[in-house]
Amino acid sequence: MYESIHIVACLLLFKLYHVYSQINDPLSGWVNYCEGAFVTSITGDDHHFWIGTDGGLIQLKLQTGEAYNFNEDNSGLPCSHITCLSMDAAGNKWIGTKEGLACFDGRIWTVFNPENSPLPHDEITTIDCDPNNVIWIGTNEGLFRKNGDDWTVFTRQITNWLSDYIEVVKIAPNGAVWVSTSEELTFFENNSWRILDREGFKDLKGSVNNIVFDSQGDIWITTRYWEIFSGPYGDGLGKFDGNSWTIYKEGNSCLPTNSIDCLAVDENNNLWLGTSGGLIKFDGNECFTEQWDFIPGFITAIHIEYMTSIWVGSEFGLYYFNGTLGYQFITGAGLADFQARDVSIDRENNIWFFNGDGIVRFNGIAWKYYSNPALKTSDRKWLTAITFDQNNTLWCGAKDQLWKFDGKNWSLVKTFDYSGYDQISTMTFDKNNNIWIGFTDSGIATNDGTGWNHFTSDNTALPDNAIYAMLCDGENKIWVGSGKGITVYDRFNWRTFTSVNSELQGSPVRSIAIDSLDQKWIAVDNTLVRFDDIAWEVYTPEDSNQMIGTIRHIAIDKRNVIWASTPQGVARFDGSEWTVLNKKNSGLMGDDVTKIAIDQQNAKWIITQNCVSVYRGDSNNVAVEREKTAPVFIKLKNFPNPFNFLTTIEFSTAKRGNVEIEVYNVLGERIKKLFDRDCQPGTYNVRWDGTDQNGALVASGMYMYVLRVDFLVCKTQKLLLLK
């Protein structure tokens, strides 16, 4: 049913944020991938999934693969921490947060809080909507019913409850409203409340934290209690058939634990239990766990779309189970705290990030995390720089070590012992595929294929051994930014520019970039310096009445526009005017920008403290010389689907362009390239026989085929292979 690898894989590493305004969209073109992936709630319909997290509300469009994030900075949400979600019969989304209730109809946000409603407290604990669009809202000071413009309040003074703290509110199939408070379980039917006798489920300690209903009319609950100084504990599972209770615990059932954090029921009346130890399926007699041990951490939310389509939220993000295979969209524990420190683009336009002991690749379809096990156990080793050689092999600096990664295996190339506190700060390759490595305190190391050479201020014209930036120009010259200036090496001579013989002002040269005219742009403090090998020119943001801090890094796009990372946001310089983009006037999620990289489609990948922001606003406006020739597809389908031997992919195009079709598995790994050629207007058929690039048959399951036009992803579709 889905292009799910394109949709949910965007959550592979980070929560996926696409900035979206309330009515007008001045921030179009921005997408944000942010660390932290604690899922609190999930709801959805045939077209969208809505995922509440501790950092915002995520909308997944199932048919197009688009994902949007709403948070307190870019929408009408009163708070980014989502506590609960529900959707009414009209499709309105009701969102509970730590600081109020919001309703979103797809265009307009409406916020309810103590200032404009009877709600007595900002924090919303639970929400559910009945078939008549009556909204039931739980708080820690009572239950509230919203029927159009009319509000009704239910508290212990009115209902004889023992507590006003509402844990759960759920609408039963018969319309009864079931409510758990911190002290009792009750339900509302025929305009009256009934409190259930606690004696029936007295063996379940604590308050009810989950309520679900099966198709036989049974009510299933779980409970949670608190121990002083040690936190919450679950105490098992209970079933109420309308007359009597049945209690399931570790001791009298197959349940491996009593601690159940969330609960759902499928069409076959199987219960799905989210626990601190993972996901459990319980059919009333047997428990099944081994198929879902790929989900790390405790389970926080479960949404069942169909009997075999299970969406699971955990403290580490979102996962999907299709009835046969589980797809892990966060590849390992700890990635919820992943904060990208650097970004780089390889020769195939894959986007790479690193932080700590691992790297992350985004290939336009899916995300994948690669951890270096040796760095996990080493003494204070962490990744500090990445680059790619002429063969597109990834090289990583890890403090004082140089590593090479071929996509599967890590190889330690060399450990440098120049200085005890030194580390690799920057790397590049020259036209001869020789590596050049800059260090924070020990100058430069390079290998010409015959051995290692070490250049410092003692044996070259380098003014300083603190190296901040390096790159190779079109003439195979190496440009080096150091703590006291910039140095160029032409294979024979070293030539250095400092404040004495140039317009450089003596501050560290933190970044160097070269435009299409072979002009060098140099970041020094809060200024840009342009050097055309003859003359120098200095540009400051004050020229455009803009104020920024230190320029940390610069990148140049296909229109020769300069993009600079600063503590105040992104400074954009078009050769005459400066523009500063920050989270107030753009889709940036934070102002503290550390690095920028620009891909082959002219998209800007921007690193902030907790997010990776992608700006594509200029990507389709790349100068007139790059004429738009991307074909317009009027038809794209495959048949048969599902298939068990051979399927045909048919597409039509109205314009000429290079078309590629590749098949990927659900982890985003390329299986086979099916088609790659220049296409005239017309209709084309491409066949796939279920084999990989080597001709071997692949396993049954879900696959995706990706259609690219002139190297830009235009469409993805699913393929289901059955044997």
Residues 620-635 have pLDDT tens digits of 333 322 333 333 444 6
Beta bridge partners of 345: 351
pLDDT at residue 432, rounded to an integer: 95
Residues in the chain, total = 723
Taking the C-alpha atoms of residue 299 and residue 292, their distance in angstroms, rounded to an integer, is 11
Higher pLDDT, 468 or 362: 468
The stretch 367-384 carries a mean pLDDT of 70
pLDDT tens digits, one per residue of 250-262: 989 999 889 999 9
**pLDDT tier at 147, thresholds 50, 70, 90:** very high
CB 312 within 8 A of CB 334: no
Instruction: Say which range, 2-6, 364-368, 396-400, 556-560, has the weakest mean pLDDT.
Output: 2-6
Strands 520-524, 67-70: pairing is unpaired
Q: In the 8-state DSSP scheme, what is residue 696?
A: P
- CB burial of 68-103 (b: ≥16 within 10 Å; e: otherwise) equals bbbbbbbbbbbbbbbbbbbbbeeebbbbbbebbbbb
| Sequence-ordered strand ranges (E) for 196-252 | 207-213, 219-227, 231-240, 245-248
Order the strands of the 435-439 sheet from edge to edge.
424-429, 435-439, 444-447, 452-455
Mapping DSSP onto H, E and C, the string for 500-563 reads CCCCCCCCCEEEEEECCCCCEEEEECCEEEEECCCCEEEECHHHHCCCCCCCCEEEECCCCCEE
- Helix ranges (DSSP H) in 81-175: 156-159
Taking the C-alpha atoms of residue 389 and residue 433, their distance in angstroms, rounded to an integer, is 6
Taking the C-alpha atoms of residue 450 and residue 605, their distance in angstroms, rounded to an integer, is 37
Q: Using CB atoms within 10 Å of the CB of residue 218, give its burial: 0 to 12 exposed, 13 to 18 middle, 19+ buried.
A: middle
Higher pLDDT, 270 or 617: 270
List, as one string, the DSSP characters of 329-362: SS-STTGGG----EEEE-TT--EEEEETTEEEEE
Taking the C-alpha atoms of residue 615 and residue 563, their distance in angstroms, rounded to an integer, is 11
Q: What is the mean pLDDT of the chain?
A: 82
Taking the C-alpha atoms of residue 32 and residue 14, their distance in angstroms, rounded to an integer, is 9
Look at residues 284, 280, 283 and name the one whose alpha carbon lies nearest to residue 261: 280
Taking the C-alpha atoms of residue 402 and residue 395, their distance in angstroms, rounded to an integer, is 7
Helix (H/G/I), strand (E/B), else coil: 208: strand
* Chain position carrying tokens 């992608």: 614
- For residue 115, give Cα distances in angstroms to 74, 100, 112: 22, 10, 8
Q: CB-based contacts of 176: which residues, under 8 Å, 6+ apart?
A: 187, 188, 189
pLDDT at residue 631, rounded to an integer: 39
List, as one string, the DSSP characters of 66-85: -EEEE-TTTSS-S-S-EEEE
**Total-model pTM:** 0.62
pLDDT tens digits, one per residue of 547-593: 677 899 999 998 899 999 999 999 999 888 888 898 888 878 788 99
pLDDT at residue 714, rounded to an integer: 64
The stretch 22-39 carries a mean pLDDT of 56
* Other C-beta atoms lying within 10 Å of the C-beta of residue 108: 11
> What are the contacts of 100-104 at 24+ separation with CB within 8 A?
100/124, 101/127, 101/137, 102/76, 102/77, 102/78, 104/70, 104/75, 104/76
pLDDT tens digits, one per residue of 240-250: 999 999 999 99
Taking the C-alpha atoms of residue 709 and residue 707, their distance in angstroms, rounded to an integer, is 7
CB 76 within 8 A of CB 110: yes
pLDDT tens digits, one per residue of 473-504: 999 999 999 999 999 999 899 999 998 999 88
pLDDT exceeds cutoff 70 at 160: yes
* Other C-beta atoms lying within 10 Å of the C-beta of residue 252: 11
Sequence letter at residue 332:
G
Instruction: Say which range, 51-60, 120-129, 511-520, has the weakest mean pLDDT.
Output: 51-60
